[in-house]
Amino acid sequence: MKRLMYISVDGEGRILVSDWDNHCVFVYDEFGQFLFKFGGEGSGEGQLKHPRGICTDNSGNIIVADRGNSREEVFDNTGRFLKHITTNIEPGGVAMASQGLGQLVVTSCKNHTVHIVPSYMIYTSEC
């Protein structure tokens, strides 16, 4: 790990940490034991460039603010890439609004603004 940025805990108690310099996310169990990492530098599917904020949704998907690529990335709970969310901002933090609404809240470091992505969900059965 080089330059740790943000941390989150998912519904299973796993600890998620974004690493700016390694362009990835590290995942640990609730006792701090390393489980796996995902990402890697680039702009392709599943790749990150200077990740920042990180959160999870009700389905266990992991959402990462991919600042260097000006988008948010959605991964499943194993780190498998699901989709890009392009908001054309340099995202800093990400959080879920009211969980039942499927709204993703994103802060912009560059513009000093807050954006709401109304419905980013991959699966609509729960949200």
Q: Let me know if 65 is exposed, middle or buried by CB neighbors in 10 A (0-12, 13-18, 19+).
A: buried
- What is the pTM for the complete model shown? 0.86
Tens of pLDDT, residue by residue over 19-38, are: 999 999 999 999 999 999 99
- Does 122 map to a domain? no
Q: Indicate whether 127 belongs to any domain.
A: no
The number of domains in the chain is 1
CATH number of the domain that residue 18 is part of: 2.120.10.30
Average pLDDT over residues 69-79: 94
Q: Look at residue 101 and give its three-state secondary structure.
A: helix
89 to 36, 41, 42, 115: CA distances (angstroms):
29, 19, 17, 9
Per the structure, the complete domain to which residue 12 belongs is given by: 4-117
Q: Which of 41, 44, 35 is nearest to 13 (CA)?
A: 35
Residue 21 within any structural domain of the chain: yes
User: Could you tell me the two tokens for 115?
Assistant: 């954006």
Residue 56 lies in a domain: yes
